[in-house]
């Protein structure tokens, strides 16, 4: 008896009933079979040993896919846990998932793991990989599973079993002497994990609750090939050198004080970058037909109940009382935008109405997730709300996509787009969600952008399009978003008068481009490694007199630069010029003007660029003209890797 198997390209292949997924992959292609890590059978993630007993859809997963990486990294957690149990038998197992960049396993250990422990664990993992243990799945009953893990002395596993529904299918995986409670799927054997590295150890509470025991979390990464691991580790080292927290201190841009964790301070040089980004934002939004507004930071509690934030976002908000009435500090700008819309009656002729706000918001983040400028408690969203007719959705979404593309290309980013759909914690009818999601899908298709679906990650009031930027060393960052909302106009009873003279409900877009000013500055700092393009650099020119004889000429040049609207400093310290050059390069200043007696006599400047070095002598006028052209065009830094098409 044969079964019909439908492949992702829509083609149908016939195989004998009972064939394993691995055998089917080999029939499709030997290369595919070698690369296969797991599969999806009628949408269900399965091991390669799973048999195909009836007609089904089949997708073979490789490491190149996100789901394939998840399987590969999940198997790596089992290898690590087996190694830990061999070396430290008294350690108790908890959970070990794959995460965005690798994997971790949480252990209940009597003492913290040391760097030397990680080296020993890695060595034991290599032994387990070399043994090439098959990963064998079996299903057991609830009582049998409980008895097994009680016998193994694994109380956390027993707790997890007790939390499962009574009718849940309980699966376990064995590899050699090691047994773990796990849904799977997994690689066929441990020998597939050829290259791995344990990265760090951190503390983590069991189930994220500080009332529970503190566990030891070991993070790791693994790949199919050693070269891929080496490349990854090189990128990690590059990322450490680019850490915006380190560069923020060294370049005197921003800081976070112990007195205000999550509330960043911007220094004078950091404010230059911030103001320039905001000026560019205002300029481009005026051109795109936006009006700028400002809404209050604190608003009445009733507003947040009406918007839905009270039910869906309350744990992330800050509160206060004024005149014995409850108020909340805004975590988002949108409810204030609703009140602005309601200030007057609108006609269909007024729409679309595009309203932008650089709005300061506050969100309560746990201290453990705060991270420089990238995860803070107070930040400025470059927010905008577009109120429109239903017939205008596609054009308005397309307009935002075009605007976002212009911003990201300016900074040298490529990006990919995700469509995030309805989350569990959502409000509104199924019909409204289906309509909103379909509208975004149509807009994406009309724009010509490729996109992937991110199930369940939409906002609680609507689906969204997310922009994930790729920086100069290959990391991705989620920044811009376009959220289509049918809920807020309904909850706030927003109206416009239609062409028929009747009242109608507008549709609404929430969108950001930068995401937040603070986070985008942190991202740019790492993207450019602190060497900002000339138009953003806090100091564009360092004037370096070789001796005191050139000091007067240097000060004259400083005045001229200031008059031309350029940002410059003079380093007239009694130091050797090579020392001054090194200092200016450490400060990532784009240009240095070295002044000796020869330059003074000829009214010239000897120009150095931070990457290219000595550019030779120029006339003052030529240098200023070139620099102003670079600033006005907002050119990327010289030598900066330009990104290709998205």
Please name the helix (run of DSSP H) or strand (run of DSSP E) that holds residue 326, with its range, or none: strand 325-329
Measured CA to CA, the distance from residue 347 to residue 337 in angstroms comes to: 18
Residue with tokens 């149908």: 12
Identify the three-state secondary structure at position 555: helix
Rg (CA), the chain: 29
The catalytic residue among 85, 330, 354, 464 is 464
Q: Residue 629, exposed/middle/buried by CB under 10 A (0-12, 13-18, 19+)?
A: exposed
The catalytic residue among 244, 510, 580, 610 is 510
Question: How is residue 581 written in tokens?
Answer: 């050059």
How many residues are given for the chain?
646
Residue with tokens 């005026």: 286
Do residues 522 and 435 make contact, with C-beta atoms less than 8 angstroms apart? no
Q: Say how far residue 630 (Cα) sits from the centre of its chain.
A: 30
Asked if 464 is an active-site residue, the reply is yes
Distances in Å between the Cα of 52 and the Cα atoms of 45, 187, 400 are 13, 18, 46
Distances in Å between the Cα of 614 and the Cα atoms of 1, 538, 550, 569 are 77, 22, 19, 19
Secondary structure (DSSP) of 341-390: HTTS--BGGG-SEEEEEEEEEE----GGG-BTTTB-SEEEEEEEEEEE-G
459 C-beta neighbours (distance < 10 Å), count: 22
Single out the residue of 106, 101, 51, 92 nearest to residue 72, CA to CA: 101
Measured CA to CA, the distance from residue 531 to residue 524 in angstroms comes to: 9
Asked if 483 is an active-site residue, the reply is no
The catalytic residue among 40, 92, 385, 422 is 385
The catalytic residue among 74, 85, 186, 363 is 363
The single-letter DSSP state of residue 636 is P
Whether the CA torsion 489, 490, 491, 497 is positive or negative: it is positive
246 C-beta neighbours (distance < 10 Å), count: 15
Helices of type H across 220-341: 226-242, 244-250, 268-287, 301-307, 309-312, 334-341
Measured CA to CA, the distance from residue 31 to residue 572 in angstroms comes to: 66
Do residues 41 and 62 make contact, with C-beta atoms less than 8 angstroms apart? no
Report the side by side order of strands in the sheet with 353-362.
Answer: 291-292, 353-362, 378-388, 507-512, 476-485, 464-470, 414-420, 451-454
Asked if 392 is an active-site residue, the reply is no
Q: Residue 496, exposed/middle/buried by CB under 10 A (0-12, 13-18, 19+)?
A: buried
Measured CA to CA, the distance from residue 179 to residue 217 in angstroms comes to: 19
Identify the three-state secondary structure at position 39: strand
Do residues 25 and 38 make contact, with C-beta atoms less than 8 angstroms apart? no
Asked if 510 is an active-site residue, the reply is yes
Backbone angles phi, psi at 517, to 5 degrees: -60, -45
Asked if 381 is an active-site residue, the reply is yes
Asked if 363 is an active-site residue, the reply is yes
The catalytic residue among 47, 69, 269, 334 is 334
Asked if 267 is an active-site residue, the reply is no
The catalytic residue among 383, 471, 485, 571 is 383
What's the maximum distance between 2 C-alpha atoms anywhere in the chain?
97
The catalytic residue among 381, 392, 540, 643 is 381
Whether the CA torsion 118, 121, 127, 132 is positive or negative: it is negative
Please list the active-site residues: 334, 363, 381, 383, 385, 464, 510
């Amino acid at each position: 008896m044969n079964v019909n198997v439908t492949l992702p390209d829509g083609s149908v292949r016939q195989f004998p009933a009972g064939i394993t997924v691995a055998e089917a992959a080999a029939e499709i292609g030997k290369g595919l079979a070698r690369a296969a890590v797991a599969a999806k059978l009628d949408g269900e993630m399965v091991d390669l040993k799973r048999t195909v007993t009836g007609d089904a859809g089949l997708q073979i997963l490789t490491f190149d896919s996100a789901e394939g990486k998840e399987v590969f990294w999940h198997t790596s957690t089992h290898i690590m846990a087996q190694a830990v149990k061999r070396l430290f038998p008294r350690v108790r197992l908890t959970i070990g998932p794959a995460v965005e960049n690798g994997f971790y396993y949480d252990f209940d250990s009597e003492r913290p793991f040391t760097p030397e422990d990680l080296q020993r664990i890695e060595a034991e993992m290599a032994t387990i990989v070399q043994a090439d243990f098959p990963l064998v799945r079996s299903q057991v009953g609830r009582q049998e599973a409980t008895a097994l893990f009680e016998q193994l002395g694994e109380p956390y596993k027993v707790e997890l079993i007790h939390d499962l529904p009574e009718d849940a299918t309980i699966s376990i995986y064995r590899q050699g002497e090691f047994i773990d409670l796990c849904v799977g799927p997994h690689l066929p054997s441990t020998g597939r994990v050829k290259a791995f590295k344990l990265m760090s150890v951190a503390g983590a509470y069991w189930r994220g609750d500080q009332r529970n025991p503190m566990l030891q979390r070991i993070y790791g990464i693994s790949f199919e090939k050693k070269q891929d691991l080496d490349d990854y580790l090189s990128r990690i080292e590059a990322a450490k050198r680019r850490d915006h927290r380190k560069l923020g201190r060294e370049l005197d841009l921003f800081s976070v004080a112990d007195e205000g964790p999550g509330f960043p301070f911007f220094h004078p040089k950091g404010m230059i970058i911030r103001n320039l980004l905001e000026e560019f934002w205002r300029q481009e939004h005026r051109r795109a037909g936006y009006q700028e507004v400002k809404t209050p930071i604190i608003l009445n509690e009733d507003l947040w109940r009406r918007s839905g934030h009270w039910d869906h976002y309350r744990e992330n908000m800050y509160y206060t009382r004024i005149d014995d009435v409850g108020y909340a500090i805004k975590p988002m700008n949108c409810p204030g935008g609703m009140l602005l819309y309601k200030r007057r009656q609108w006609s269909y002729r007024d729409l679309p109405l595009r309203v932008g706000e650089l709005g300061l918001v506050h969100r309560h983040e746990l201290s453990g997730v705060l991270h420089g400028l990238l995860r803070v408690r107070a930040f400025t969203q470059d927010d905008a709300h577009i109120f429109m007719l239903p017939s205008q959705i596609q054009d308005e979404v397309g307009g935002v996509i075009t605007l976002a593309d212009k911003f990201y290309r300016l900074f040298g980013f490529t990006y990919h787009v995700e469509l995030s759909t309805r989350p569990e914690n959502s409000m509104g009818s199924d019909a409204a969600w289906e309509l909103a999601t379909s509208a975004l899908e149509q807009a994406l298709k009309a724009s010509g952008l490729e996109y992937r679906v991110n199930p369940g990650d939409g906002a609680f009031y609507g689906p969204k399009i997310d922009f994930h930027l790729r920086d100069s060393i290959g990391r991705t960052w989620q920044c811009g978003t376009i959220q289509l909302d049918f809920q807020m106009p309904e909850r706030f009873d927003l109206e416009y008068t239609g062409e028929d003279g009747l009242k109608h409900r507008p549709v609404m877009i929430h969108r950001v481009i930068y995401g937040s000013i603070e986070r985008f500055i942190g991202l740019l700092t790492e993207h450019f490694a602190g060497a900002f393009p000339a138009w953003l650099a806090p100091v564009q020119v360092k004037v370096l007199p070789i001796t005191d004889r050139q000091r007067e000429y240097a000060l004259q040049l400083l005045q001229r630069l200031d008059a031309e609207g350029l940002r410059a400093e003079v380093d007239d310290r009694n130091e050797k010029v090579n020392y001054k050059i090194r200092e200016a390069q450490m400060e990532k200043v784009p240009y240095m003007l070295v002044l000796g007696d020869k330059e003074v006599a000829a009214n010239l400047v000897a120009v150095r660029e931070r990457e290219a070095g000595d550019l030779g002598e120029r006339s003052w006028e030529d240098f200023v003209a070139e620099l102003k052209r670079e600033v006005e065009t907002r050119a990327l830094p010289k030598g900066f890797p330009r990104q290709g098409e998205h």
